Amino acid sequence: MNIHEYQAKDILRRAGVPVQPGEVAETAAAAEAIAARYGTAVVIKAQVHAGGRGKAGGVKLAKTPAEARAHAERILGMSIKGLVVQRVLVAQAAEIASESYVGIIVDRVSKRPVVMVSPAGGIDIEEVAATTPERIKRVAVDPRYGLQPFEAMQCGFFLYRDLHRARAAARILRQLYEAFMESGASLAEINPLVSTPANELVAVDAKISIDDNELDRHPDLAALRDETAEAPSETDARKANLTFIKLEGNVGCVVNGAGLAMATMDLVKYYGGEPANFLDIGGSSNPEKVINALRIITSDPQVRVILFNIFGGITRTDDVANGIVTAIRQHPLRVPLVIRLTGTNEHEAVRILASAGLSAMTDMDEAVRAAVAQVGAETAA
Ligand code: GDP
Ligand code: MN
């Protein structure tokens, strides 16, 4: 789960990280009022779950409250990477002497939290990694002991030559590490971590992603979810208890089990297709899930064919068939449907589908090829 910059900054502030004072506004008038109250230059920042807001025109400095209002007016309602800005953060502007990067991710290779720091801040860390990888220092932390003071100091000196700022950076890293572990984050980053002309460090931007599996343990963090900032199909799927990830292709996939879903996507790609989504209806036999799955997939205008791939074990294929038939009665499909099912109660499933004029295959390879051919045929037509 992603949270907004202002929410991430609240977490960092509580952990002791120096952050500029700031407040959220939903209207230009409110932004102006906050700026007037601060009586300083402010920065107006679009609150959307996307990086690169600065480049997109979503981060603007304002010297006066009137300017703050004008910027907020322009930024509110603006669309950044397909996300509409509904709120802005109005923060006291920091004076910037230099920008660096500090972040922590869960690293799958070392199976540890990895601290990453770079004096090349303010730009995407992916870009630094691609062009000047020697400007990134990585420290894999042993989670039994946490980020050690000497490790934090090594990072501090990688960023700054003077003891004062190296120490300040080390302190911030240890606070960031605490916040990261405490909130069950998969990523926590400050980009840029700014050094001011007075040699003080300030977190000017913050991003935290919380591992979805941690949310049950952290109701306070779960409450930070902003559904208006997420893809509607993903919100919808979460409410229906489906594991769903929207992808860029046009072959809609409904599968039971994450492993089968991966295998299905691999096969779709193998035959030259592109999956439109990852959707796992899980191991249950609930026709309601199938109905929800079809509703969510068909609401994506990019989907040109729907592929069901069901391996009946605990999942009863007749339940899935009933779900398909009910769903289609409620909302007739505007795209072709390819069904593969095999396993528990498959004869019953085939009978149910046949009575609704549908057919099913038992071979996965054949079904995937048929689905991809539908898209190919449409594209050619
Ligand atoms: P992002 O583009 O989404 O990563 O948004 P950031 O919060 O990182 O802002 C982008 C850039 O705007 C930063 O790298 C800074 O150069 C600049 N910026 C952001 N906040 C301030 C501020 O308080 N003062 C100054 N002078 N520049 C800022
Ligand atoms: Mn940034």
Ligand 1 pocket mutation pick from 34, 96, 123 by most atoms within 8 angstroms of CB: 96
Around 241, how many Cα atoms within 13 Å sit in the side-chain half-sphere?
11
Q: How far apart are CA 225 and CA 222, in angstroms?
A: 6
228: exposed, middle or buried (Cβ count in 10 Å: 0-12, 13-18, 19+): exposed
Confidence of residue 274 (pLDDT cuts 50, 70, 90): very high
CATH 3.40.50.261 domain range(s) in the chain: 231-380
Give the number of whichever ligand sits closest to the CA of residue 5.
1
Q: Hey, what are 70's tokens?
A: 């004008």
DSSP 362: S
Please give the average per-residue pLDDT across 239-246, as a whole number.
Answer: 88
The position carrying tokens 């509703």 is 295
Q: Name the residue among 373, 368, 313, 377 with its Cα closest to residue 345.
A: 313
pLDDT category of residue 331 using cuts at 50, 70 and 90: confident
101 part of the active site: yes
59 lines ligand 1 (CB under 6 A): yes
Which residues share a beta bridge with 22? 91
**Environment class of residue 368 by beta-carbon count within 10 Å: exposed (0-12), middle (13-18) or buried (19+)?**
buried
Q: Is the pLDDT of residue 286 over 80?
A: no
pLDDT by residue (tens digit) across 8-52? 999 999 999 999 999 999 999 999 999 999 999 999 999 999 889
For the chain, the average pLDDT equals 94
How much of the chain exceeds pLDDT 70, in percent? 98
Asked if CATH classification 3.90.550.10 holds for the domain at 21-92, the reply, yes or no, is no
* Residue in the structure block whose two tokens are 């449907």: 337
Greater pLDDT, 376 or 135: 135
Cα radius of gyration (the chain): 25
Q: CB count, 10 Å around CB of 329?
A: 10
Of 125-129, 140-144, 169-173, 337-341, the least confident: 125-129
Residues 70-94 have a mean pLDDT of 95
> How far is it, in rounded angstroms, from Cα 202 to Cα 16?
11
pLDDT tens track for 359-373: 999 999 999 999 999
Ligand 1 near 189 CB (within 6 A): no
In the chain, the percentage of residues whose pLDDT exceeds 90 is 83
Which ligand 1 atom is at minimum distance from the Cα of 96? Answer: 26
* Residue range 216-238, pLDDT digits in tens: 999 999 999 998 888 778 888 88
Ligand nearest to the CA of 63: 1
Pairing of strands 277-280, 243-246: antiparallel
State if pTM tops 0.95.
no
Rounded to whole angstroms, the Cα distance separating 274 from 333 reads 20
Task: From the candidates 6, 101, 160, 177, give the one annotated as an active-site residue.
Answer: 101
> Rounded mean pLDDT of 331-338?
92
* Residue 327 vs residues 56, 96, 158, 314, 333: alpha-carbon distances, Å: 41, 57, 58, 21, 9
Q: 189: helix, coil or strand?
A: strand
Helix (H) or strand (E) holding 99: strand 98-107
Domain with CATH 3.30.1490.20 in the chain: 21-92
Under 8 Å between Cβ of 268 and 303: no
Beta-bridged to residue 210, according to DSSP, are 185
| pLDDT single digits (tens) 120-168 | 999 889 999 999 999 999 999 999 999 999 999 999 999 999 999 999 9
Residue 224's identity, in one-letter code, is L
**Whole-angstrom distance, CA of residue 322 vs CA of residue 310:** 13
Which residues of the chain does CATH 3.30.470.20 include? 98-222
When pLDDT is cut at 50, 70 and 90, the band that residue 381 belongs to is: very low
CATH code for the part of the protein at 231-380: 3.40.50.261
Query: So what CATH class is 98-222?
Result: alpha beta
